Amino acid sequence: MLLLFGSRETGGMSNSKKTTKTWFQDGESGGAPNRESGRLGVRDRSPGRSRSLRLVAASLAGLVGIGAASFGAVAAQANTVAVSASSVSVLSENLASAQGLSRSLADSTIEPTALSASAASNASASAASNASASAASKAVSQQAAASKYATASKQTIVSKHSASSKQASSSRQIGKSKAAQKRDLKATIQTLVDNGYPGALAAKTDKDGNTVGATAGKGNLATGEAPPLDGEVRIASNTKTFVAVLIMKMVEEGKVKLDEPIETYLPGIVKGQGVDGKKITVRQLLQHTSGLPEFGDGQLDYFAIRNDYVSPRDVLDGVLSRPAQFAPGAKFQYNNANYVALGLLAERVAKRPIAEQIETKIVKPLGLKHTYMPAPGEKTIRGKHPHGYHTRDGKPGKLEDITEADPSWEWAAGSMISTPSELNKFMQSVFDGSLLSQASISEMKKSVPAPEMGGEYGLGLIGYKSSCGVVWGHSGNNPGFHSLSAVGSDGTASTIVTTAEPAVNAKEAEMIKAGKYGQAVSALDKTVCGK
């Protein structure tokens, strides 16, 4: 079982404070920041605007920030979970790329048409392997062999797990027919629905790009419809990995240096109480060691602000109205403000919108058809999708539909939309050389301890301990959707999505309270590790 998988980005809210529906105080039209043809300008420090930005900062607490209290108890149990040495492996440097899963509704046993040829081939190969026990055994041995990757830092996950990297899991479900894999996947996520989630979606992609998908529960509580197979969902903080890859591409092009101060790229912008952009590096932003203030510690009624737009610059200005959390590099603290700053850096360096850059440098090269960053003001999900549900106070209670909402407050920290199969393909492509050089991949794996997350954090990647060793991925929470994605040591990728956050699920909330972040986490561990 994963010790921890996924960041609590929006829960744990109390009723002690509530924001108004409006993001900013009335009568602020004269306090707009200085902009020149859409470029970043100097922050307006007028009293009225400062009050407004403080309101934004106070409001944004529960948006996409990690709930350390929820995860601390889990992390504290890390040493109590025994992982068999025979089942521990380490992620290979050369993972195979994935293929997409075609779109289909309802029945998870429907063969994806886009993969009909490969599915037939896969089924034939599976039948052959089932006919020969010795051949199946050989296949397991070959595909489960783990490869070592070089250690560049004592702070990497590799240093903690290299001793077991030569060993492979003996429990991979290699050789199963596609139909059997689908049944297993559906049964796994059905447990999530049985335990209180409205709906669930999943996709599992092997190292050769063969994908199976499944759905469970209801994709629309009003109509009773099942979730669409491989439907589009809000992936929240999985967006951070896309942004990190984009930054690493700029590093490869010589446009950005990881250990250069952010001041070099955003002069005069990243500054405030204890905040000095001259002392904060690009790497520290990617790695959540910058010490920047978080979005805030107030409360937010998502239903009240679901139609409100807030610009990335206004989000950052609101953040910087608060004092720094700690000196740059002093420790790890998951912080969405880091990726808002990185999004602004990407736009300033490239002189193009970040959504366009992600589209041209990542989405199109990979052939992703349902992965995108919403345009400013875009509230709907474009393709077939399940509905997402939330409660008014972010605690277990009456679920209400919050599918349509303006995600501008998340922006580069968590606004993107994708599907389970396409998120698998992207995550596999992060490691197989499709997007980045091996040198860049190694940099992304350089990690710092992230005890509250039960693992290590690299550059836009989380390394987690699982029942089959270290797996790399990310997670995301926003009102309506909870997503977990990871790539295992044999190249298998898995994504699990629920249509509500753990915090609003009564059973999950009790497990979190008890230090057991269990249901969705266990489902992902089971699928990526083949248990």
**What phi and psi, each to the nearest 5 degrees, are found at residue 280?**
-110, 125
User: 208: domain range?
Assistant: 1-13+48-531
Residue 414 or residue 70, greater confidence: 414
Nearest CA to 171 out of 467, 410, 383, 449 is that of 467
Distance CA 349, CA 363 (A): 20
Average pLDDT score over residue span 441-467: 90
Instruction: Identify the residue whose tokens are 């075609």.
Output: 102
Distance CA 355, CA 349 (A): 14
Instruction: Identify the residue whose tokens are 């055994």.
Output: 137
Give the whole-number percent of the chain exceeding pLDDT 90: 58
Name which of 60-74, 291-305, 422-436 the model is least confident about. 60-74
Residue 210: what pLDDT? 95
Distance CA 185, CA 174 (A): 14
Q: Where are the alpha helices (DSSP H) in 272-399?
A: 282-287, 302-305, 312-319, 337-350, 354-358, 364-366
C-alpha of 479 from chain center: 14
Give the whole-number percent of the chain exceeding pLDDT 70: 65
Distance CA 420, CA 174 (A): 21
**Does the pLDDT at position 335 exceed 50?**
yes
Average pLDDT score over residue span 131-146: 38
Distance CA 46, CA 32 (A): 9
pLDDT band at residue 531 under the 50/70/90 scheme: low
Q: Contact, 482 vs 234, CB < 8 A? A: no
**Does the pLDDT at position 266 exceed 70?**
yes
**Does the pLDDT at position 232 exceed 50?**
yes
Residue 453: what pLDDT? 76
Asked whether residue 476 is domain-assigned, the answer is yes
Q: Read off the CATH number of the domain in which 516 is found.
A: 3.40.710.10
pLDDT digits (tens, 9 = 90+) for 292-324: 998 765 556 889 999 999 999 999 999 999 999
Asked whether residue 164 is domain-assigned, the answer is yes
Q: In what order do the strands lie in the sheet with 493-498?
A: 211-217, 199-205, 493-498, 481-487, 469-478, 462-466, 455-457, 448-450
Asked whether residue 8 is domain-assigned, the answer is yes
Asked whether residue 201 is domain-assigned, the answer is yes
Residue 24 or residue 152, greater confidence: 152
Average pLDDT score over residue span 252-276: 97
Nearest CA to 357 out of 239, 233, 520 is that of 239
Structural domains of the chain, count: 1
Residue 452: what pLDDT? 76
Residue 511: what pLDDT? 81
Residue 294: what pLDDT? 87
Distance CA 27, CA 140 (A): 67
Beta pairing partners, 272: 275
**Helix/strand/coil for 257:** coil
Residue 517: what pLDDT? 62
Q: Which residues contact 151 (CB under 8 A, 6 or more apart)?
A: 158, 159, 162
Distance CA 166, CA 154 (A): 19
**Does the pLDDT at position 70 exceed 90?**
no
Asked whether residue 439 is domain-assigned, the answer is yes
**Helix/strand/coil for 307:** coil
**What phi and psi, each to the nearest 5 degrees, are found at residue 475?**
-150, 170
Asked whether residue 363 is domain-assigned, the answer is yes
Name which of 12-16, 135-139, 207-211 the model is least confident about. 12-16
Beta pairing partners, 394: none
Nearest CA to 426 out of 183, 129, 126, 98 is that of 98
Nearest CA to 206 out of 475, 496, 494 is that of 494
**Does the pLDDT at position 104 exceed 70?**
no
Average pLDDT, the chain: 75
Asked whether residue 215 is domain-assigned, the answer is yes
Residue 60: what pLDDT? 46
Beta pairing partners, 483: 476, 497
Distance CA 413, CA 241 (A): 9
pLDDT digits (tens, 9 = 90+) for 165-189: 333 333 344 457 889 999 999 999 9
Say which DSSP state 336 is in.
T
Name which of 47-51, 411-415, 461-465 the model is least confident about. 47-51
Asked whether residue 412 is domain-assigned, the answer is yes
**Helix/strand/coil for 72:** helix
Q: Contact, 72 vs 517, CB < 8 A? A: no
254: left (phi over 0), alpha (psi -120 to 50) or beta: left
